[in-house]
Amino acid sequence: MNNSRWIKWIIPFVVTCCLVSCQQKGKLLKEGDWRGVFSLAENEIPFLFKVNGQTSEGTTVYLLNGADKFPLKNITYRNDSVFIPIDLYDAVLKARVDGDQLSGRFVKTATDKPDGGVPFTAKYGKFPRFAVSPEKPEVSLNGTWDMVIGSGDQAEKTVGNFEQKASLISGSILTTTGDYRFLEGAVQGKRFLLSAFGGSTPYLLKGKFSSDSTFTGEFVTPRRTTEISGVRNSKAALPDAYEVTYLKEGYTTIDFTFPNLNGEQVALSDSGYTGKVVVVTILGSWCPNCLDENTFLTQWYKENKQRGVEIIGLGFERNGDFEAAKKTLTNLKTRLGIQYEILVAGQSGKDNASKALPALNGIASFPTTIFIDKKGNVRKVHSGFSGPATGKFYEEFKKEFNGLIDQLLDEK
């Protein structure tokens, strides 16, 4: 073999070996528990995740928040880096792997302007979300609270609902449009810390008690830090979610026709829905509270569809193009195992959803849920969703939901 032929053979071989070596190095993302920290200018937001590589689909990363395990798949490696896509929220965690350490950024991919991302580091091992403090809890966050997020004209009245066991706390904050999902943390002396990262936005809630029944503090996201305050109130509640959106005067019904994920036109007036109780949910794959509601509806529908009930999801996506919306809504449908129709209704935004359903006074939140009786009349409209992280409020919603469906099914 002459030198030129030998070089032509050995160079591709060496390149291939290097690529394989780099891939193997990246795959040293260890299975088991990890603790990460998002680094902001004045704060750190801790988050927990678990790596599982023993499935037929390859590596899966689970974001851990209280009782919630949010799976992330399609993990890829390049050289010494790992890329963890968060498909529903058009984001990615990308990091350099260095043994038991990760360093990288959380980047939003569906933005008009380049996103520099939020820097984070992570360490392998089973660590608490917040470092264990020698200070024993002197107060309790357990129970329900009237809370205000923001100040002045920007103040938003919310409700906090938390459970505390020793120094550990979990719970959520309810707003008129939904909740902040699973927050988890600890009480240290007269202070408390809670955080969450479910794939959309990292949250940090920190406060200090001024008495057993009042606190002040801050609500922190990568974009802003906002004042918070709370007053203990066992009867704390939000305005009636059934009075926010309603039919305009002179209307008793709604009507719509949109393509499903196969491109086929589906109308509320189709024979498959006439004479049945129909639940219409206005959603977006990008919406965490919509994820929670459709998780509930998916299981409920499997158990109750034979009773003469149908569900239709109207999807409003960030990208108004049909093919792009089809992709993101299909991801949602596949992830949850949804068996009811999801229609591509338009681009995200309350104004767009309101224009799509002109018989209503306006859509105030994602999700919004419309209850239609057997005659096709709209009976109730529910704005927002209080998910499983809200405890008793979630249980109340399920009771109301089932009671309303039973009532509509019993009607002749």
What does the pLDDT look like over 312-370, one tens digit per residue?
A: 999 999 998 999 999 999 999 999 999 999 999 999 999 999 999 999 999 999 999 99
User: What topology is assigned to 257-410 in CATH?
Assistant: Glutaredoxin (3.40.30)
Here the tokens at position 403 are 């009671």
The tens digit of pLDDT for each residue in 278-298 reads 999 999 999 999 999 999 999
Integer Cα distance of 218 and 203 in angstroms: 11
Q: Find the angle CA(55)-CA(57)-CA(59) to the nearest 5 degrees.
A: 70
Identify the DSSP state of 166: T
pLDDT at 25: 38
State the amino acid at position 176 in one-letter form.
Answer: T
pLDDT at 9: 45
How is the chain split among helix, strand and coil, in percent rounded to 5?
A: 25, 40, 35
Query: Percentage of the chain surpassing pLDDT 70?
Result: 92
What phi, psi does 406 have (nearest 5°)?
-60, -45
Whether 5 shows a pLDDT value over 80: the answer reads no
Query: Percentage of the chain surpassing pLDDT 90?
Result: 86
**If residue 410 lies in a helix (H) or strand (E), which one and from where to where?**
helix 392-410
CA distances to 69, 234, 279, 402, 403 from 301, rounded to whole Å, are: 22, 33, 10, 12, 15
Confidence band, pLDDT 50/70/90 cuts, at residue 259: very high
Lowest mean per-residue pLDDT among 2-16, 72-86, 92-106, 167-181: 2-16
pLDDT at 27: 54
Mean pLDDT rounded to a whole number for the chain: 92
Q: Does residue 35 contact residue 125 with C-beta atoms inside 8 Å?
A: yes
Whether 215 shows a pLDDT value over 70: the answer reads yes
Here the tokens at position 242 are 């059934």
Whether 24 shows a pLDDT value over 60: the answer reads no
Here the tokens at position 67 are 């009782």
- Average of per-residue pLDDT across 120-146: 95
CA distances to 115, 129, 206 from 141, rounded to whole Å, are: 36, 17, 12
pLDDT at 320: 84
* Domain 143-232 sits in CATH 3.90.1150.10: no
Length of the chain equals 412
CA distances to 232, 299, 395 from 401, rounded to whole Å, are: 28, 14, 10
pLDDT at 28: 62
| Cut 0.95: pTM above it | no
Give the distance between the most distant pair of CA atoms in the chain. Answer: 91
Residue whose pair of structure tokens reads 């057993």 in the numeric block = 212
**CB atoms near residue 312 (< 10 Å):** 25
The tens digit of pLDDT for each residue in 9-20 reads 444 444 444 444
Q: Find the angle CA(130)-CA(132)-CA(138) to the nearest 5 degrees.
A: 100
* Residue whose C-alpha is closest to residue 29's, from 96, 93, 85, 74: 96
Domain ranges of the chain: 20-124, 143-232, 257-410
Q: What is the CATH number of domain 20-124?
A: 2.40.128.620
Integer Cα distance of 313 and 369 in angstroms: 9
Task: Indicate if 143-232 has the same CATH topology as 20-124.
Answer: no
Going edge to edge, which strands form the sheet with 91-98?
68-72, 58-65, 44-55, 32-39, 118-124, 101-108, 91-98, 81-86, 76-78
Whether 22 shows a pLDDT value over 60: the answer reads no
Integer Cα distance of 122 and 55 in angstroms: 23
Integer Cα distance of 81 and 149 in angstroms: 38
Integer Cα distance of 109 and 61 in angstroms: 19
What phi, psi does 216 have (nearest 5°)?
-135, 160
Q: Which residue has the higher pLDDT, 112 or 96?
A: 96
Task: Tell me whether strands 168-175 and 183-188 are parallel, antiparallel or unpaired.
Answer: antiparallel
Identify the DSSP state of 276: S
- Average of per-residue pLDDT across 361-385: 97
Q: Does residue 348 contact residue 259 with C-beta atoms inside 8 Å?
A: no
* Residue whose C-alpha is closest to residue 146's, from 135, 155, 154, 138: 155
- Average of per-residue pLDDT across 52-70: 86
Integer Cα distance of 373 and 368 in angstroms: 17
Integer Cα distance of 256 and 341 in angstroms: 14
Identify the DSSP state of 27: T
Integer Cα distance of 290 and 385 in angstroms: 8
The tens digit of pLDDT for each residue in 266-280 reads 999 999 999 999 999
